[in-house]
Amino acid sequence: MAEDNKVQGLAWFVAGLGVGALVGILYAPKSGKETREDLAQGAREGTEYLRTRTRQAVDQVGSLVDKSKEQVGEYVDRGREVVDRGRAHWEDFVERGRTLVTDQTSRVSAAVDAGREAYRSANTPSAPAE
- The pLDDT > 70 percentage for the chain reads 92
Beta-carbon contacts of 38 under 8 Å, excluding residues fewer than 6 positions away, are 30
CA angle 80, 81, 85 (to 5 degrees): 115
pLDDT tens, position by position, 40-58: 888 899 899 999 999 999 9
Which tens digits make up the pLDDT trace of 57-78?
Answer: 999 999 999 999 999 999 999 9
At residue 100, the pLDDT reads 94
Q: Give the pLDDT of residue 127.
A: 54
Residue 28 identity: A
Helix residue ranges, H only, 1-130:
2-26, 32-123
Is residue 130 over pLDDT 80? Answer: no
Question: So what's the pLDDT on residue 129?
Answer: 54
Average pLDDT in the chain = 86
* This prediction's pTM: 0.43
- Residue 10: which pLDDT band, with cuts at 50, 70 and 90? confident
